[in-house]
Structures are given as structure tokens and as C-alpha cells.
Amino acid sequence: MKPYCVPEKTEKYIGYDMIQNHTDIPALPDARLRLLHAFLEASPAAAKSEVYGTVTALLQVGLDIHDRVAPGDDSEEERAMRSRQLKVLAGDYYSSRFYELLAGAGEIGMVAELSRAIADVNRRKMELYLRMQREPQLGLDDYLNEMAGLKARLFEGFDGLLDGPLLPHWNRLLTLVSLHEAAAEELQAAGDRQAYEGLTFRGGSAAGSPEDAEALRERLSRQLRRTAADFEAAVSELPGGIDVQALRLLTERFAASAGGADEAKGEVKE
């Protein structure tokens, strides 16, 4: 099995000084990428696992950086305007590389599959945004499930390559990873809304009092504990052929994040 090397493969595309000097680049979706690599390496598509991982990383970063583009106006400072413009251009650049890499590998069918996934992600983001405007009391569980679905959708483009015995395990673990990431990001936003870029639960306005804010953080912490435990159980049920040891790194990471959420509140992990 080939080792996971997506960060190294994407560095030459992401690490441009001009972009990094003017805007923050979203982190790679490392957990989802590691999961994808483990399953592709156990499938007939193992020979293409590196190129698939690289293009998916670039696409997801492109989508994520576009999510951080805030509306501007004529009064904004030049640096803010340049940062906003570069976010748009950087997102487009990262997305365009996916066409080049897949076409060069002769994977025209996957270009179409991932293009459909991108369109679906953008449609579902707009639907969620509009739903949040219509339903100011949208529940946290519904919101997290919607966000998890958005995170998973691009990676679901590989379902066809993982058809067969691997598919139910892939779908289950992808859902859990995406849900854990959604809850972790929301907990980060709840702790420091001003430092967090992107869509958040009710725009950060759900917690109208310190008691509400604490209740929100507690619910998110419980969600992190649940998904960490469910992920560990699901990994233990994987069939042979999958590099379970590589996925145990994620098990440890998720358990640590759940424990860290407890420690931040002075609690003992369940």
C-alpha cells in the first residue's frame, strides 16, 4: 500500500507566496483525505489513489476558500479588497488544477463525476443559507447534519469506485468524519466567532446569553464524544485489506478533540 502523501503532493499548488501573503488558506480536509486514501488503496482504483487524493484536496480547498469571501464595498481598505479578490482567484485556481490533473491521467469520467459533486455542493449551500433565513429556529442537529452532508458530498463522488463490500463501511465512516468535523468547527466558532470565517449555526447569534452559549458548547462537546466513539467502533468492524492502523490515527485524533472540549470546560471525559 502506498503511504498517504496528499499534503506533499498539493504543496506546489497551494504554497504560492502571493496568495499566502494576502489571504489565509484553509487547512486541507486531512481526516476525509486520509479516509479516502485508505479505502482507495483497498480498492481496484489503488493505482490512482494519489491523483484522486490530490485533486480532491485542491477542489475542497477551492470550495472552502470561496466560502470565506465576504461582501465588499468601495470603502474597504486596499489590503482587504486584495485579500477578497485573491480568495476568489485562488479558489478558481485550485479548482482548475483538478481538471488538468484528471485530464492528464485520462480520468475524464471522474472529471464529470466530481463536477456534478461541485455543482451539488454549491446548490446545497445556497439551500441551507436560504433555509436558515426562513427558519431562524433551525435546530442544531439539523444544521450539523446539513454541514456534514456538504463536507461529505465531494468525497461521495468516489462511491462508484468503492462499490461492493467496501461501500457501506465507506459511507458510514465518511458520515462520521464529516459530522465530527462539522461539530468541531462549530465549537471553534462558538468559542471565538470573530476569528472564525464561514457559515456558522445561526450566524453565531444563537447564543444570546452566557447560559445559551454554554449550553451550545455542551451540546457540541457531546456530539464530538459520540462521533469519536462511533468512529472507533466502525473502524474495528472494517474488513481485511484496509489499513486500519492508518485510520487509528484518526480515532486517536477524534478522541483527543472530544477530550479537549471537555478539558476546556473543566470536565472529565466520559
More confident residue, 152 or 18: 152
Residue 1 lies in a domain: no
Q: What is the span of the domain harbouring residue 253?
A: 6-264
* Centroid of chain to Cα 148: 8
> Position of cell 490533473?
101
Indicate the range of 72-86, 101-115, 135-149 predicted with least confidence. Answer: 72-86
| Residue 265: band (very low, low, confident or very high) from pLDDT cuts 50, 70, 90 | very low
Please, what sign has the CA dihedral across residues 68, 69, 75, 78? positive
In a domain, 270, yes or no: no
Q: Is 135 left (phi over 0), alpha (psi -120 to 50) or beta?
A: beta
Nearest-10 Cα torsion for 61, 203, 21, 94: 20
In this predicted structure, the answer to whether residue 177 has a pLDDT above a threshold of 70 is: yes
Note whether residue 192 is domain-resident.
yes
**Is 16 a residue whose pLDDT tops 70?**
no
What's the whole-model pTM score? 0.87
66-96 per-position pLDDT tens digit: 776 665 555 556 666 666 666 667 667 777 8
Contacts with 143 (C-beta within 8 Å, 6 or more apart), sequence order: 132, 186, 201, 202
DSSP 163: T
Q: Provide the 10 A C-beta neighbour count for residue 216.
A: 19
Q: Reduced to 3 DSSP states, what percent helix, strand and coil does the chain have, rounded to the nearest 5?
A: 75, 0, 25
pLDDT tens-digit series, residues 187-235: 988 876 555 566 777 554 444 566 678 888 899 999 999 999 999 999 9
Considering only residues 177 and 78, tell me which one the structure prediction assigns the higher pLDDT. 177
Which CATH number characterizes residue 240's domain?
Answer: 1.10.600.10
Overall number of domains in the chain = 1
76's grid cell: 474597504
